């Protein structure tokens, strides 16, 4: 059983993509009208956003949207969850009135290179805004004060030296504002520092445009939309969180009861953190602006990795800062590069078998609760 679970986690973008494309034959057994689509990235023809679309055969009542890899490296865990969904839950749907939109790796460049961002260093989950006027460089001015700490313009020295400097600089800033204020600032997103972490871009990215088109198409075709998006990195290490949009009116404890799931939070400062340009928020805003009356539930599966203690959050920030600094400026030694790369990968794609098994167990519990409560299983 454990061997089968661990086999769900791919080793490369290419392996993950091939497996996803091969799943088409299984999907077509249930939806004879299923189609595969490919959007090759500009300047990277070998990399593509791939999706399988299977419309309801008779009555287009509800559609499940499943997305992975918005933050490229997070696509490895996302791939495992998508494969699990296809293998275990697909056969319980009713193709007569239910459609599918399964998206493999929104950010294929990031997945292949094991970075969070796209080729333009854009964090796509800070890029889902209504229009380019919202990509305002003056937004989140407090981030500029952090730029000299978060986005160093020099090669990474030895890991120990870099770590000491990072902690000293951070301690100096914490005399100005609290840890919670600092955390809220760097997580919110910014549109001024193109080589910085959580850069939301200075234009709408092509990956964002593709997904926006798919969401609009889904709303046009169906009266009920369920959207499950896969992420890693934040929250308790051995407990996946369901992260709801701030635009979702129902409180978190009600969703926990409804889904029989132990951890549901809203993307606000009290329960999780706030994001500008969030994809799930965009889906709700699209519904409210253009498709009022449609039934929508959209959420992110957030698989925690390092944990929630202050020391864990410091480690998370350090991993992001060092990886970004090394990408732009290099490092002084192969040993330093390997350590930074290893910690960054552990932040978003933990290697521990226990973690991976628990992640699948949490996903199973959430799939079962959500799909049943939302009426996606045949006969519910």
Is position 288 within any domain?
yes
β-strand partners of 67? 103, 229
322 plus 341 within the same structural domain:
yes
Is position 380 within any domain?
no
Is position 194 within any domain?
no
> What predicted TM-score, i.e. pTM, was given to this entire model?
0.97
Is position 175 within any domain?
yes
Is position 252 within any domain?
yes
Residue 193 confidence (pLDDT) above 80: yes
269 plus 339 within the same structural domain:
no
20 plus 99 within the same structural domain:
yes
18 plus 163 within the same structural domain:
no
10 plus 69 within the same structural domain:
yes
Is position 80 within any domain?
yes
180 plus 301 within the same structural domain:
no
177 plus 33 within the same structural domain:
no
- Pinpoint the alpha helices (H) of the chain: 2-6, 13-22, 24-30, 75-88, 108-113, 142-150, 159-173, 179-188, 206-221, 252-259, 279-290, 310-329, 334-348, 353-373
Is position 378 within any domain?
no
Dist CA 19 CA 166 (whole Å): 41
107 plus 218 within the same structural domain:
yes
7 plus 78 within the same structural domain:
yes
What is the domain count for the chain? 2
Instruction: Look over the chain and give the mean of its residue pLDDT values, rounded to a whole number.
Output: 95
CATH of the domain at 90: 3.40.630.10
Is position 205 within any domain?
yes
Q: Are 301 and 369 in contact (CB under 8 A)?
A: no
Helix (H, G, I), strand (E, B), or coil: what is residue 244? strand
For residue 130, name the pLDDT band (cuts at 50, 70, 90). Answer: confident
Q: What is the pLDDT of residues 91-112, one digit of tens each?
A: 999 999 999 999 999 999 999 9
100 plus 204 within the same structural domain:
yes
151 plus 35 within the same structural domain:
no
Among the listed ranges 66-80, 168-182, 243-257, which one has the minimum average pLDDT value? 168-182
Q: What is the pLDDT of residues 196-227, one digit of tens each?
A: 999 999 999 999 999 999 999 999 999 999 99
Domain that holds residue 172: 140-188+309-346
272 plus 320 within the same structural domain:
no
Packed helices 159-173 and 142-150: angle between N→C axes, nearest 10 degrees:
160
């Amino acid at each position: 059983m454990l061997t089968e679970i661990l086999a769900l986690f791919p080793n490369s973008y290419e392996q993950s993509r091939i497996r996803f494309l091969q799943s088409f034959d299984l999907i077509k057994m249930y939806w004879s009208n299923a189609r595969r689509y490919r959007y090759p990235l500009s300047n990277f023809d070998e990399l593509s956003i791939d999706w399988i679309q299977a419309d309801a055969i008779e009555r287009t009542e509800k559609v499940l949207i499943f997305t992975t890899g918005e933050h490229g490296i997070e696509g490895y865990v996302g791939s495992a969850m998508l494969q699990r969904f296809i293998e275990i839950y697909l056969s319980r749907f009713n193709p007569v009135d239910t459609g599918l939109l399964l998206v493999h790796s929104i950010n294929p460049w990031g997945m292949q290179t094991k970075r969070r961002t796209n080729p333009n260093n854009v964090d796509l989950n800070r890029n889902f805004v209504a229009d380019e006027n919202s990509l305002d460089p003056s937004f989140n001015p407090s981030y500029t004060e952090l730029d000299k700490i978060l986005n160093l313009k020099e090669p990474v020295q030895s890991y120990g030296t870099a770590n000491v400097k990072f902690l000293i600089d951070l301690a100096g800033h914490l005399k100005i504002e609290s840890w919670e204020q600092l955390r809220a600032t760097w997580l919110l997103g910014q549109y001024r520092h193109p080589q910085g972490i959580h850069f939301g871009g200075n234009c709408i990215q092509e990956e964002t445009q593709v997904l926006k088109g798919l969401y609009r198409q889904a709303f046009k075709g169906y009266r009920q939309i369920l959207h499950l998006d896969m992420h890693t990195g934040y929250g308790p290490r051995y407990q996946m969180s369901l992260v709801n949009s701030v635009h979702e009116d129902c409180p978190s404890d009600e969703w926990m009861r409804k889904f029989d799931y132990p951890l549901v939070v809203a993307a606000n400062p009290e329960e999780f953190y706030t994001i500008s340009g969030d994809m799930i928020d965009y889906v709700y805003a699209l519904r409210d602006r253009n498709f009022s009356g449609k039934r929508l539930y959209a959420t992110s599966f957030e698989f925690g990795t390092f944990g929630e203690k202050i020391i864990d959050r410091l480690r998370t920030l350090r991993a992001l800062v060092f990886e970004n600094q090394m990408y732009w400026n290099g490092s002084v030694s192969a040993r330093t590069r390997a350590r930074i790369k290893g910690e960054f990968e552990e932040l978003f794609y933990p290697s521990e078998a226990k973690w991976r098994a628990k992640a699948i167990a949490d996903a199973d519990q959430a799939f079962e609760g959500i799909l049943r409560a939302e009426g996606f299983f045949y006969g519910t």
